[in-house]
A and B are shown apart, each in its own frame.
Chain A
Amino acid sequence: MQKPSKFAVWLSTFLFCFLFWLLLTWSVALREVLWGVVISALVAAFSGRFLIHHEAFYLYNPVRLIMLAVYYVGIFLVEVIKANLSMAKLVLSSKMDYKAGIIRVPGSPEIKSEYGLSLVANSITLTPGTITMDVAEDEKGDNYYYVHWIDVTETDREKAGEVIKGRMERWIGRIWK
């Protein structure tokens, strides 16, 4: 994967910060917008290299953003509610009987980009009961997530991966390769 130029990295971060500023202040008065430009430019100059590593304008694709919103509202919310209910059951039961473990689940071969990997890892962490501890790549280029799982019901790695992130990962694979 080729590295984007410094200017593309700066511009992408600048646009992101500036849009965020506009949404936050919600005014188009000249003074506000000018301050927004100055501050976004400064922030982008300092932090662009941490945010963007390849394909600078990958994020600004309306189809992708709409798919992302559908994913978060439709798929992710359902998974979160299910996991929250089972966590509530565990916490409110009189003797907390659980078997914790750290399991290595294989990532889908489709998802290679850093955006996709971090989105899957964050989705796993956000469902109560599972925390991604690390994402590692082996010499063949396959990705693995090390997941701390509070209630291990499945020690087979493939099946555990299906339980932990099956639906979420299929959807993310459609959005971000």
Chain B
Amino acid sequence: MRIVIDILLLVGIFFTAVGVLGVNRMPDVFGRLQASTCIATLGTISVSLAGILYAVSEGMGASAVIKLILILVLVLATNPISNHALCKAAYKMGIKPAKELVIDDYKEDDPE
């Protein structure tokens, strides 16, 4: 059990590190937003899974497990909304991508 928890923690730390590195290396706002999703998804998922397994194996009772699940659900529910709003706002403000976009349907159609 201990080994599984350690592996999950390592996976979480690895993907969080990838996300942080991506935020630093990406050339523009959109790329940074994309890379930061790594932190919120697999980083959070595996770290909270490790927490859940630890709480179960130490016999901490249902309330600790449920709080961990709620943390996971809240992060997964709120992250896409802020990401979507940031991405749209950055585009509407007219921030230029670092490289020319391959395809840009949004500009052509321009809803509302």
Contacts and interface: CB of A to CB of B under 8 A. Distances in A.
Interface in A108-166: 121-122, 125-134, 136, 146, 148, 150, 152, 155, 157
| Size bracket of the B interface | 35 or more
A100 B83 CA distance: 17
Nearest to B35: A91
Nearest to B92: A133
Contacts of B51: none
Interface residues of A, number: 40
B71 to A, nearest CB: 10
A173 to B, nearest CB: 19
A100 B106 contact: no
Query: Of A24, A104, A121, which is in contact with the most chain B CB atoms at under 10 Å from its CB?
Result: A104
Contacts of A84: 15, 18, 38, 41-42
Contacts of B45: 77, 80
Q: Which of B67, B70, B111 has the most A CB atoms < 10 Å from its CB?
A: B111
Interface of B: 14-15, 18, 21-22, 25-27, 30-31, 33-35, 37-38, 40-42, 45, 62-63, 66-67, 70, 76-77, 79-81, 83-84, 87-88, 91, 97, 99, 101-107, 109, 111-112
8 contacts: A26-B66, A96-B25, A96-B26, A99-B102, A102-B107, A122-B81, A125-B79, A146-B109
